[in-house]
Amino acid sequence: MISRRRFPNIVPALFATGIFLVPALAHAAGGAPAHMTMSDILWDLGIKVLNVGILGFLILKYLSGPLNKLVETRSAKVRAEIDAADTARREAEDRLNAFRKKAALVDSEIEELRAHTSEDIEREQKLLLEEARQAAEHIRLQARNTIRQEVLKARDDLHREASVLAARTAGEIIRGTINPDDHDRLISEYMKEMEAAK
């Protein structure tokens, strides 16, 4: 059995689908009037396309939740990577502080050695801080690009699915609305209009 926690928005989506599809099915079962004018057909088609649009909007609304969860998961992962970079930077600073303490304990008699040690510590400090800064910046840029790509991909997938659903639903509505006589009559009217336009 499918858990409601796993698909929290499925029930409202099915309810909304039922609201829009039941009247369309009832209308198709009753059959279309024998003599519908072109404006009646277009009006009926416009109402059905509006219904499909509303249905598509509701589907997009309820699918945005999983998309937001995906983005939040990615953001949490990026935050964890940034925290790891900050921890590495703090460890580097701790090592630097340890070097400074050792330098402070060096005997005053070996001044030259202490001067060299001080230069090495400063160089190490700059290298460690620069490496930590570069690593943190690299992780931030990579995280931003990953989030941007995931959001764009999720939006493209969502729009593609909504377009396919809307086209399929519109095709089913049109097939249910126009019978063979209407189809022949529409073709005949179109041919007359084309001949008149010449």
Question: Residues 170, 52: contact at Cβ < 8 Å?
Answer: yes
User: What digits encode the pLDDT tens for the residues 1-52?
Assistant: 444 444 455 555 556 566 656 555 555 555 555 577 888 888 888 888 998 8
Identify the pLDDT of residue 1.
Answer: 41
Nearest to 63 by CA among 16, 25, 20, 24: 16
Query: 54 Cβ partners below 8 Å, 6+ apart?
Result: 20
- What pLDDT does 10 receive? 58
pLDDT beneath 50: ranges in the chain: 1-7
The residue ranges of every structural domain in the chain are 10-28+37-175
State how far the Cα of 35 lies from the Cα of 29, in Å rounded to an integer: 17
pLDDT at 191: 78
Show the CA angle centred on residue 149, arms to residues 144 and 152, nearest 5°. 125
Return the structure tokens found at 41: 């057909």
Residue 184: the pLDDT is 76
